[in-house]
Amino acid sequence: MNSPTRHGYGLSSTRLALLLGGVALFFYVLAWFKFWQ
């Protein structure tokens, strides 16, 4: 593999993965709305 990013929209694979992990975390926290209501 020459580079982990062949195409890319300006984000490296690691950064995109972290961003998507953040999305998952957001939905996890959102589901607890009864707790922080």
Partner 1 sequence: MMTSTTATVLQEHGEHHDVPAGMMRWLKTTNHKDIGLLYMIFSLIMFLVAGLMILLVRAELLMPGLQVMRPAIYNQFVTLHGLIMVFAFIMPLATGFNNYLIPMMIGAPDMALPRLNNWGFWILPFAAILLLIPFFLQFFGVGDGAASNAWTMDNVALDLQSGIGMDCTILAIHLLGISSITGAINVIVTIFNMRAPGMTLWNMPLFCWAWLVTSFLLLTVIPVLGAVVTMLLMDRHFGTHFFIASGGGDPLLFQHLLWFFGHPEVYIVLLPAWGILPTILSTFARKPVYGYKAQVYAYWAIGILGSFIWAHHMLSSGIPLAGELYFMYATMSVSIPTAVMIFCWIATIWRGSMTFETPMLFGLGMIVMFGIGGLTGLVIPDIAAYAQYHNTMFVVGHFHYPFFGGAVLGFMGATYFYLPKMTGHMYDEKLGKLHFWLTLLFSNLVFIPMMMVGLAGQPRHLVDYAIKYHEYNAISSVGAILLGATQLIFLYNIISTACGRGEKATAKVWEGAQGLEFTLPSPPPYHTFTLPPEEVK
User: What residues make contact with partner 1 under the rule CB under 8 A?
Assistant: 1-2, 4-9, 11-14, 16-17, 20-21, 23-32, 34-35
Minimum gap (Å) between residue 24 Cβ and partner 1? 5
Minimum gap (Å) between residue 31 Cβ and partner 1? 3
- End-to-end CA gap in the chain: 48
The answer to whether 28 and 20 are in contact (CB under 8 A) is no
Minimum gap (Å) between residue 36 Cβ and partner 1? 12
**CA–CA gap between residue 24 and residue 31 (Å, rounded):** 11
